[in-house]
Amino acid sequence: AVNPDLAIERQTASFSVEKLTAWLDGGEEHTRTRRAVVEAIERDPVFSRENQYFQSQNERYEAAVRKAVHLQKKMHEMGWTETGPEFKYIYRAVSGDIAFLLHRIFIRSISVLGSDKQIAKWIPLATQHKLIGSYAQTELGHGTYLQGLETTAVFDITTQEFILNTPKISAMKWWPGDMGRSATHTVVFAQLYTNGQCYGVHPFIVQIRSLRDHSLCPGITAGDIGPKMNFEHVDNGYLMLQNVRVPRENMLNRFCEVQPDGTYVRQGSQKINYFTMTTVRISLISDEVIIPLMKACTIAIRYSVVRRQSKLKPGEQEAKILDYQTQQEKLLPQLAAAYAFHFINDYLQELFNRGYGEIQKKNFETLPELHAFSSGFKALVTQYSTSAVQICLQACGGHGYSSLSGLPSLYTKIIASCIYEGENTILLLQTARFLIKCFRAASTGQAVPPSVTYLAAVKPGKCPAKNKLEFLSPDIYTEAYQHMASRLVSSTAAKLQDLIQSGVKKHDAWNQCTVQLAQAAKAHCHYITVKNFAETVEKLKTEAGIQRIMKRLCDLFALHGIFSNAGVFLHDGYISGAQMDMITASYLDLLAVIRKDAVPLVDAFDFTDKSLNSALGSYDGQVYQRLYEWAQKSPTNKQMSPAYERYLKPLLHNTQSKL
Amino acid sequence: AVNPDLAIERQTASFSVEKLTAWLDGGEEHTRTRRAVVEAIERDPVFSRENQYFQSQNERYEAAVRKAVHLQKKMHEMGWTETGPEFKYIYRAVSGDIAFLLHRIFIRSISVLGSDKQIAKWIPLATQHKLIGSYAQTELGHGTYLQGLETTAVFDITTQEFILNTPKISAMKWWPGDMGRSATHTVVFAQLYTNGQCYGVHPFIVQIRSLRDHSLCPGITAGDIGPKMNFEHVDNGYLMLQNVRVPRENMLNRFCEVQPDGTYVRQGSQKINYFTMTTVRISLISDEVIIPLMKACTIAIRYSVVRRQSKLKPGEQEAKILDYQTQQEKLLPQLAAAYAFHFINDYLQELFNRGYGEIQKKNFETLPELHAFSSGFKALVTQYSTSAVQICLQACGGHGYSSLSGLPSLYTKIIASCIYEGENTILLLQTARFLIKCFRAASTGQAVPPSVTYLAAVKPGKCPAKNKLEFLSPDIYTEAYQHMASRLVSSTAAKLQDLIQSGVKKHDAWNQCTVQLAQAAKAHCHYITVKNFAETVEKLKTEAGIQRIMKRLCDLFALHGIFSNAGVFLHDGYISGAQMDMITASYLDLLAVIRKDAVPLVDAFDFTDKSLNSALGSYDGQVYQRLYEWAQKSPTNKQMSPAYERYLKPLLHNTQSKL
């Protein structure tokens, strides 16, 4: 039975949830495919996550390996292939708790960086799982700055081998997934030395464990790096190499090669590597960031109409906590952001597909823009979503803090996305570098990509809106964002210029502007996100109810952003204090309006109870019953703790049993 | 050996670290006492936290009980008493991982709410640990709103007993610490019924487990609520009561009593209860919030001078990450906040002590102010510090995400402080209610507490500062904060008034203003924190070096607050856009200046390596060595995972061992 407080929320939906779901999926046939995949996975007990919150790191690793191995069988059984329509839903359906993701990166890196001969040798072995691969790039002392990697690979002409070494502790490979306990092989990135000269970082295939008994190969020290904030199911590992020899053929040599006499030869373009990083950054946004954010919103919003606390009006029943303005103000902007990011992800995919088409025609012109966009949006979306999930967790009070709510694990996982695949601040500064370059080019009349032509149009001005209703016009707020973003880019460019002209060295000047550069990059991405949301709503051809609510979410996302970053809009007077009051009024009005559709809006994300794995967020809203049932399964309730016999009994050595 | 990159940071300190430590402690004798306590605790292997990051919930609970029992012995052995100077350092020294804190609340609630007879019976039993007490207030369905509790206690005249029941699942007691597995007794809060009438929530002493074998008493269902985001060492519990009978004498009856004939009699004032909550809120700020924040700053700042990454100048060695402006901008404001909150804690303690003196003289006049302050500052300090610890964690990149950094556990613990002892938003609204009341009183010339007289002085105006250096004047920025806080309070009061005058009902109007009311309350507390920091620096009589650096930290805290909340300062033109640029310039300049003393400033917090329990934060800066050593101890490296035999071996059924 559905909790009546939750049931009533669904009766008053102003649109068809089923139609919204189909539209979000990109069509009904996609919804059907997705649901079929989810159902097949969830029906299979091997993929169960029922005990996940009670498992140790060892148990979660074991389950992840079991699932990964079983998935191969399952795919075969179901007729799912890597190129089929089901594939993109599988990872989502297993909810990420699966091993051997790095095995896929291993395969991808050989496919991209390996010669045809290397591909012919290694890819079949890998795809048939005759080995388990990993990808050993990051070191204890080096993450983002790849040029600084310290592992060495010295070519020995006499044996035609590379000798790999970890010269010091900071050079130890550290963090690679699947490497701590699973992998038999890995791609090691090392500084290549041949004929006494260093040629920079190159990739080498290295076997690290025996295929017979999984023991470590000679010269290899490897293990698990221990507990983390989450990702207990992944065996992130460490690796030390001591005079480990690999044949000359094990250096991935599509783009450069060491010849038998030790001569280093570079061939072809490596620009495509650039593109691989871009791909990864864009591909993680959906599954690792937006889906978890949508789950957190679903849990927190459903719970907030079941939970009643205190009274809004004296004498009445206690109120649903979602009826409090402060609770709406916590949750509804996060819901709007989940939609905004879903749409910006579509935008990035399209940009990427267009770029990929060009690249296949050997046109690398769009690469800088693609790189700047993937970097900036990765940073914006991961940071924003991490805060959003934290807000959802805290908005559920004490029960949000229980692991059984599902929110702690969503949070401790999503926060990692701010760090992996490029630390966010560094990524924002890469976007900023692109923006400054484009701003300078545009200012001198040179051509720039269409997405940044607005940078040339900086001019002082004032927002024309005259009352709070006018701030519900996408033209008004998109213009405000555009003005703000271009002002931040141009003023930072000016500061940079001033510093250099006053004699500060270029790199020092850059460093002294980085706080503002990062802010400008974020502003740019925020602007594009708002603009894209507005355009998506504009183009939307579907039932009126969906159009109306999407328009409101877009307004909310935009006005929330102005309300929470008021300073950058007020700074030059583009928005006046009086206008900010109108924005605030419109923003708060919107909360009360959207609140009515809050539950249908999260229902449309179409998560099954199993995929939410939350005692607070299930479709039926039986929150308290479920918390109680799940708690009873905890290992802490399985038997009397040995602490009783050891410590409590001696303490309570009373003769009476009752006081 | 100390890492040379860290060692050099200490050689250039602009002040005496030892003197700063003594000043923070409140005098050298306190430093000596604190160090003696810490040393005694850390030397004792029972209190070791060496394996904490590898332990399961069961193991952490067991360790916490062991420590709690051992602590009694230790205190006796060392001659430490609950009233001695050592006592306040014990909890900090064991770093919170200890059981039976609720036993202390059990004792406190009987001492405050019990009659002399009840105190005489129960307190000796409790202090001699002949029972283990807990405090069962919160229910599955009710936290903050105590009036809504659903547990019932019906007086039965025939047997002179109360019959306690959990009428529905949402009435189950949920969350009380020490109750899931340890407690033998608890104070249950229940709706009292006698002679067919309900008299509201009252406390009853209930035995829940046998003192002979720890089995549950008849009618009792109890257990552990399962895994949480942290606090695995605490057995937060659930409790259901089914016709549980306790004698009439078990209702705590200092203030009200049920007489043998069932007549309910209220006696004396209950105002003092109010004060108990205030006490708890103030007392948790130091140990649960400020100390963890200081630890996070210590870890992140020490690591940031050991970690080198990328180059600031081409051709040079890789730079310490703390030399990047963006890293300074992440960490140094958090360091300044740690100092600011240390001082505001002193301020609150003083306010509290003064109030307590009055209350002992039966003068309850200061209670509303004390309550408003304890609520608002609890909310401000916990929320700010939670964000700060998150920033510290993310600023350490991947290694910050490793449990071995110590940062994940600091974070997952401190975030709970935003929820327990009053959810922050609700607390801020209580502060807001007080501020609105004072604002109205002050506006009509009535007397208000000195801390809020400024509310009457709202007038339009402009900040007089003319260049960036003038923004380093405490008068200038304190005035700006004051102006901003009073504007937010007065404008929200006006909105509230307007709504009511336009016919909106009072409670609806209040709800429609709560987002802004919470903002105003936060602004007030922020203002007082800045003002108090400036006054502390002003009064400071110590060596010039300490005065200088404290002044800078105060400036940084203040300017960071303006920079990050620019909107509320720009809104009415009190600060102009041009002035905001000056503030930004001064703020960024300060970062570079304070950066030089960053390590000495965290060294002054005087944490031992054992208390930090961080591979990244140790005094010697041997970051990479320690990460490696600690990782090897992980249970994930203790033996080959059963996953190999079960899943990997069948997969890799090759005949060759090497490819």
pLDDT in tens, A435-485: 999 999 999 999 999 999 999 877 779 999 999 999 999 999 999 999 999
For A518, the closest of B125, B132, B326 (CB atoms) is: B326
Distance CA A279, CA A349 (A): 9
Decide: A239 and A139 in contact? Cβ < 8 Å: no
Query: How many whole angstroms separate alpha carbon B14 and alpha carbon A655?
Result: 64
Tell me if B567 sits within 8 A of A565, measured CB to CB: yes
Tell me whether A630 touches chain B (CB under 8 Å): yes
Contact (CB<8Å) A636/B235: yes
Pick the residue of A211, A234, A332, A593 with the most B CBs within 10 A to test the interface with B by mutation.
Answer: A211
Q: How far apart are the first and last CA of chain A?
A: 43
Which residues are within 8 A (CB) of B585 and not within 5 positions of it... i.e. 6 or more apart?
B468
CB contacts of B56 in chain A (<8 Å) are 56, 635
Question: In the structure encoding, which two tokens stand for residue B352, read together?
Answer: 């509290």
Average pLDDT over residues A3-19: 97
Q: How far apart are CA B201 and CA B255, in angstroms?
A: 13
Chain B nearest C-alpha distance from A229 (Å): 6
Q: What is the DSSP string of A135-146?
A: EE--BTTBSS-G
Nearest residue in A to B647, CA atom:
A66
Residues of A in contact with B311 (CB under 8 A): 145
**Chain B 442-501, CB below 8 Å of chain A: which residues?**
none
Report CB contact under 8 Å: A148, B566: no
**Alpha carbon distance A467, A462 (integer Å):** 14
Q: How far apart are CA B234 and CA A483, in angstroms?
A: 52
Contact (CB, 8 A) for A181 and A187: no
For the beta carbon of residue A215, count every other beta carbon within 10 angstroms: 11
pLDDT tens digits for B347-384?
999 999 998 888 888 888 888 999 999 999 999 999 99
Q: How far apart are CA A342 and CA B45, in angstroms?
A: 52
User: B631 to chain A: which residues are within 8 Å by CB?
Assistant: 223-226, 238
Q: Best of A326, A411, A426, A586 to disrupt the B interface by mutation (most B CBs within 10 Å)?
A: A326
Closest CB to A397: pick one of B211, B313, B419: B419
Q: Are strands B152-156 and B185-194 parallel, antiparallel or unpaired?
A: parallel
Chain A residue numbers touching B654 (CB-CB < 8 A): 130, 211-212
User: In this structure, is the dihedral angle defined by the CA atoms of residues A568, A574, A579 and A583, taken in order, positive or negative?
Assistant: negative
Q: Which residues of B touch A412 (CB under 8 A)?
A: 229, 408, 412
**Strand A237-241 and strand A220-224: pairing?**
antiparallel
Does A313 touch chain B if contact means CB atoms closer than 8 Å? yes
DSSP letter for B214, please.
-
Both tokens of B81, joined, read 């008493």
> B54 vs A217: CB contact, 8 Å cut-off?
no
Distance of CA A224 to the CA centre of its chain: 24
Taking residue B43's Cβ as centre, other Cβ atoms within 10 Å add up to 10
pLDDT attached to residue B124: 95
Q: How far apart are CA B288 and CA B230, in angstroms?
A: 13
Q: Which of A139, A288, A421, A479 is catalytic?
A: A421
Query: Chain B partners of A56 at a C-beta cutoff of 8 Å?
Result: 56, 635
Gap between the Cα atoms of A127 and B206, Å rounded: 63
Helices (H) and strands (E) in chain A — how many of each?
25, 11
Distances (CA, A) of B525 to A161, A539, B442: 67, 46, 18
Range list of β-strands (E), B249-360:
256-258, 264-266
- Report yes or no: B61 at the A interface, CB cutoff 8 Å: yes
Structure token digits, residue B491: 């404008």
At B42 the pLDDT is 97
Please report the ipTM that was assigned to this predicted complex.
0.97
Contact call for residues A605 and A300 (beta carbons, < 8 A): no
Phi–psi pair at B607, nearest 5 degrees: -85, 140
Q: Is the pTM of this model over 0.95?
A: yes
Given CB atoms, is B51 within the 8 Å cutoff of chain A? no
Res A211: pLDDT: 93
Provide the 10 A C-beta neighbour count for residue B69.
21
> What pLDDT shows up at residue A270?
66
Residues of A in contact with B174 (CB under 8 A): 627
Backbone φ and ψ of B462, nearest 5° = -135, 145
Task: For residue range A28-69, list pLDDT tens digits in order.
Answer: 999 999 999 999 999 999 999 999 999 999 999 999 999 999
Whether the CB-CB separation of A183 and A209 falls below 8 Å is answered with: yes
Smallest Cα distance from A360 to chain B, Å: 32
Give me the residues of chain B with pLDDT under 70, please.
270, 273-274, 654-658
Please list the active-site residues of B.
421
**Structural domains of chain B, with CATH:** 20-96+276-424 (1.20.140.10), 132-267 (2.40.110.10)
Give me the residue from A62, A568, A651 closest to B642, CB to CB. Answer: A62
Between helices A407-414 and B407-414, what is the axis angle to 10°? 140
Q: Are B414 and B292 in contact (CB under 8 A)?
A: yes
User: Whole-angstrom Cα distance, residue A373 to residue A352?
Assistant: 10
Selection from A379, A567, A449 nearest residue B580 by Cα: A567
Return the residue of B nearest to A512 by Cα.
Answer: B325
B39, B74 Cβ separation under 8 angstroms: no
At A504-538, the pLDDT tens digits run 999 999 999 999 999 999 999 999 999 999 999 99
A281 in reach of chain B (CB within 8 A): no
In the three-class reduction of DSSP (H, G, I as helix; E, B as strand; rest coil), residue B231 is classed as coil
Q: Output the known binding site of B for FAD.
A: 138, 177
The helix or strand, by DSSP H or E, that contains position B164, with its residue range, turns out to be strand B161-165
Dihedral over Cα of A512, A513, A516, A517: its sign:
negative
Establish if A578 touches chain B: CB-CB under 8 angstroms: no
Tell me how far apart the alpha carbons of residues A421 and A150 are, in angstroms, rounded to a whole number.
20
Helix (H, G, I), strand (E, B) or coil at B16: coil
Predicted pLDDT of residue B654: 63
Measure B206 CA to nearest chain A CA, in Å.
Answer: 10
CB contact under 8 A, B425 and A326: yes
Q: What is the DSSP letter of A319?
A: P
Helix (H, G, I), strand (E, B) or coil at A258: strand
Residues 85-124 of A with CB under 8 A from B: none
Angle among Cα A345, A348, A353 to the nearest 5 degrees reads 125
User: Which stretch of DSSP H or E encloses residue A384?
Assistant: helix A367-395
A&B contacts, CB < 8 Å:
395
**How far is Cα A188 from Cα A173, in angstroms, rounded to an integer?**
8
Exposed/middle/buried for residue B144 (C-beta within 10 Å: 0-12, 13-18, 19+): middle
